[in-house]
């Protein structure tokens, strides 16, 4: 008879529940988030997308400031996600400076694996906090007005960049 510790038992219970509830919505969310969170490692572990993301961050840094419409649109969401106040100009500047130093745009980080709960969860802890800021950076680089089309455009831009290299 096998004996499992509480952590592994919990992971097994979660995996069983996620495959049986809500038409597997959590599995779909994990699949899409794993794809987006591992862009820095793509294509094929070369990290070329990380270079593209760094370049987009540089473009954002030199193109926008705290008075830009796109930053004004997202500053409250970013401030709330990071637990930072956002009412004064100095507080907005602090948020803007933190956006320019986001971990996921400056480091490769670890790879979130669907089968490994700990790898996915550790990346979720880092990247969920940066969701609104990353969305703002991606949106600033794409002129399309539809948010879903923006996401598809960003993903296709990464694929085109990969195919060209």
Q: What is the pTM of this model?
A: 0.72
Q: CB within 8 A of 11, min separation 6: which ones? A: 117
Which among 66, 59, 58, 96 has a CA at the least distance from the CA of 79?
96
> Would you give per-residue pLDDT tens digits along the chain (165 residues)?
556 677 777 777 777 777 777 778 888 888 888 888 888 878 777 778 888 888 999 999 999 999 999 999 999 999 999 999 999 999 999 999 999 999 888 887 777 777 777 788 888 888 899 999 999 999 998 865 555 665 666 666 655 555 555
What pLDDT shows up at residue 64? 94
């Amino acid at each position: 008879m096998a004996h499992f510790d509480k952590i592994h038992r919990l992971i097994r219970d979660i995996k069983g529940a996620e495959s049986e509830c809500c038409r597997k919505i959590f599995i779909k969310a994990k699949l899409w988030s794993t794809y987006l969170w591992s862009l820095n490692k793509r294509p094929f572990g070369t990290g070329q997308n990380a270079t593209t993301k760094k370049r987009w961050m540089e473009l954002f840094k030199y193109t926008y400031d705290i008075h830009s419409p796109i930053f004004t649109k997202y500053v409250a969401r970013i401030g709330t996600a990071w637990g930072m106040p956002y009412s004064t100009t100095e507080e907005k500047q602090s948020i803007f400076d933190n956006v320019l130093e986001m971990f996921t745009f400056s480091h490769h980080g670890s790879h979130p694996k669907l089968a490994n709960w700990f790898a996915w969860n550790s990346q979720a802890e880092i990247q969920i906090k940066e969701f609104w800021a990353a969305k703002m950076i991606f949106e600033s680089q794409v002129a399309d007005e539809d948010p879903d089309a923006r996401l598809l455009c960003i993903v296709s831009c990464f694929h085109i960049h990969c195919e060209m290299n």
